[in-house]
Structure 1
Amino acid sequence: MFGRKGLNVAEQTWILKRKGLLMTKIVTLLTILLGLAQIAPAQADYPERAITFIVPFSVGGGSDQTARALIPFLEKHLGNGAKIAVVNKPGAGGSVAYAEMAGTKPDGYTIGMVNLPDAVTGPMLNANVGYTTSSFNYIGGINKEPSTITVKADSPVKTLEEFITLARAKAGGLTVGVPSLSNVHSVGMTEFAAEAGLEVNKIPLNGGGPTMNALLGGHIDSASVSVGAAMKKKDKIRVIAQMSDERAETAPNVPTTVELGYKTTSYVIRSFAAPSGTPAPVMEKLRAAFRLAMDDPEFQATARKQRIALTFVPGDKLVETAAELDTRLSKLWKTNPWMSKGN
């Protein structure tokens, strides 16, 4: 009836089971520790091969120019002989690139530029776009440029109030050229028109460059592009307002919508990001190198030469910003869908 002294068979069986469970836990723990030991050195040595950087727009545009200006300095501060290959994937207002990036292995070897709010509005326009606002882990923001309301230099419109008065008086509203109907500047014009109680006829022109050309050619009454794009043509155009709460460094003499008494603000935030799920040590290294690259005097000189306004935004702050934009623009989409030309 009894095996070990003082213990019956049932008690001995219970003890053996407990020992077996303990051994199983020990083996599992050792397996995990061994796996971590193998992963940690690989992440510590990151990057060990070339990194692919996806730009969601065509070569030569503002996002492409900004990314290519910073990337050599990101390589420099990542160390380990880092090499970053730029691949342009234009299409659907950036959604083609965002979907591809979101679907890649989150190991730090495919990163890219993600513009806000474009990456937020994509899923609103198409539920099957291939990504969501939570698909990205942000490395950092490189610049934050407000949208503008811009007219030709010889236009009789010299102030925002004159623009509003003329828009209200003209049947069908003024024509406003925008890079695309889903673009941030189109969204900004939708918000401003709703707040000011006016009608505008938005004309999609397939990019900031063509939009400015249409304005200069007299084919549209006004345009909404980034302040950087507008100021590059400052001798031929007049920026009557920038949709922001503070004046951009590149446009210190242009009033903001907020100082003129309106609440509407509209910015394109150009950021570097990785797919969600990228290991924390890799993200830490990318974020640290990004900040060092932004602070590099050589890069800042390059940015000044290329007229790139710099505004560093921490990666964790961009996660919050994306969520806030998602909430605000979802409400706007329900009441004033900006894909309609008249909104």
Structure 2
Amino acid sequence: MASWFRILVAAVALLAAGPATSAEPAFPTRPVHIFVPYPAGGAVDILARTLGDAVSRTWGQSVVVENRPGAGGVIASQALATSPPDGYTLMVVASGHPTNAFLYAKLPYDTFKDFTPISLLASSPNILLVRKDSPFKTLGDVIAEAKAKPGSLSFGHAGNGTSTHLAGELLKGLAKIDITPIPYKGGAPAINDLLAGQIPLSFNNGPESVGQLEAGTVRALAVTSASRASFLPNVPSMAETVPGYDTEVWWGLLAPGNMPPELVAKLSHDFVAALNTEPVKERLSKLGAMPIGSTPQQFDARIHADYEKWGPIIKAAGIKAE
């Protein structure tokens, strides 16, 4: 009788413990989607596709990049904020993400609570571009023309409040000139209008500019970083003509809010590892982007810092969403 009792107790214990195969399968078990809040061909799109290809090989799963342009990234951000926090929906954002809170009277999400920072991926200076046949040979030429004929010049940018827009506004303020900002739904459409002669100037990210620079269809007058960029050593920095000028664009990876910590850690690890592979580093270097690969905490701190830095400037300039 005692032996039967011991067997019964053991059986009950096994049932209580559950089947040995009940553990969750390793992430990911199906395709992962990455939202891009701008059109195809721009800096964010190029970075998302480059990293998507790299991590897909690590995971053995497809990474699908979805372009969801519009409203300066608000449309894609809202879609991400309402997605399940399971790691299967992510988004690559640019440094304009934290400034949208100052451009719109009301956002359909909370800039901080509704997203989980994964990693600050890369950064790059912006570039002031002109068409190859432009009469402007230097930044000094542009400033002289703008002072001689206030309001006669315009510059294209990727949307109100984006880093390329703020780059132009910073130039206006420091050089004390009047040039008109023209917003586009991404950097690629701005370059298209520059090439078509619709605008005389355009501020663009490095990755979306390099191809046109190599093809000789545009010329770079200056980069927005404090010093010259390694991928354009012969192009002056803005600060060489306008002392104190210094700004850049960054790109980072976000997930929906309330992500499980272990999933955040895995995503951050895998994307940072992809950034550190030679093919990705070589690709980004050619595009003028510097890999960073931060921790989630460091990326969160950068988002908050830019929110605090640019908020007062945007308010003072009266910049609103188009």
TM-score normalised according to structure 1 size: 0.77
Letter in 2 for 1:221: P
Partner residue, 1:212: 191
Give the 3 Å change call, closer, same or farther, for CA 172–57 of structure 1 in structure 2.
Answer: closer
Matched, 1:63 2:30: no
Match of 1:311 among 288, 291, 299: 291
Matched, 1:192 2:164: no
Greater gyration radius: 1
Does structure 2 retain, via aligned residues, the 8 Å contact 1:178–1:186? yes
Does structure 1 retain, via aligned residues, the 8 Å contact 2:155–2:202? yes
Q: Percent identity?
A: 27
Secondary structure, in 3 states, of the residue corresponding to 1:248? Answer: coil
Match of 1:231 among 167, 190, 210: 210
Secondary structure, in 3 states, of the residue corresponding to 2:238? Answer: coil
Partner residue, 1:289: 270
Letter in 1 for 2:37: P
Matched, 1:242 2:223: yes
Q: Deviations over 1:195-239 (max 9, x none)?
A: 221111122344323322322333322111113333322223221
Does structure 2 retain, via aligned residues, the 8 Å contact 1:148–1:226? yes
* CA RMSD in angstroms, aligned pairs only: 2.7
Secondary structure, in 3 states, of the residue corresponding to 1:209? Answer: helix
Structure 2 distance, partners of 1:227, 1:179, is 13
More moved, 322-331 vs 148-157: 148-157
Partner residue, 1:131: 109
Secondary structure, in 3 states, of the residue corresponding to 2:174? Answer: helix
Secondary structure, in 3 states, of the residue corresponding to 2:75? Answer: helix
Partner residue, 2:13: none
Secondary structure, in 3 states, of the residue corresponding to 1:254? Answer: coil
Q: Deviations over 1:152-182 (max 9, x none)?
A: 3333322222321211111324221223334
Matched, 1:92 2:100: no
Give the 3 Å change call, closer, same or farther, for CA 132–251 of structure 1 in structure 2.
Answer: farther
Structure 2 distance, partners of 1:297, 1:340, is 39
Partner residue, 2:33: 52
Match of 1:280 among 257, 261, 272: 261
Deviation at 1:108, TM superposition (A): 1.8
The equivalences for 1:1-343 within 5 A come to 41-42=23-24, 45-77=26-58, 79=59, 81-116=60-95, 118-134=96-112, 135-234=114-213, 235-303=216-284, 307=287, 309-314=289-294, 315-339=296-320
Deviation at 1:140, TM superposition (A): 2.1
Q: Deviations over 1:290-331 (max 9, x none)?
A: 1211122233455567x3634224033221111111112110
Letter in 1 for 2:138: T
Deviation at 1:106, TM superposition (A): 1.9
Deviation at 1:94, TM superposition (A): 1.2
Letter in 2 for 1:108: G
Partner residue, 2:11: none
Letter in 2 for 1:120: P
Partner residue, 1:8: none
TM-score normalised according to structure 2 size: 0.82
Deviation at 1:339, TM superposition (A): 4.0
Deviation at 1:335, TM superposition (A): 1.1
Structure 1 distance, partners of 2:94, 2:313, is 19
Does structure 1 retain, via aligned residues, the 8 Å contact 2:72–2:185? no
Unaligned 5+ runs, structure 2: 1-16
Equivalenced residues, count: 299
Q: Deviations over 1:118-176 (max 9, x none)?
A: 21122212243222331332222333122222223333322222321211111324221
Structure 1 distance, partners of 2:184, 2:272, is 35
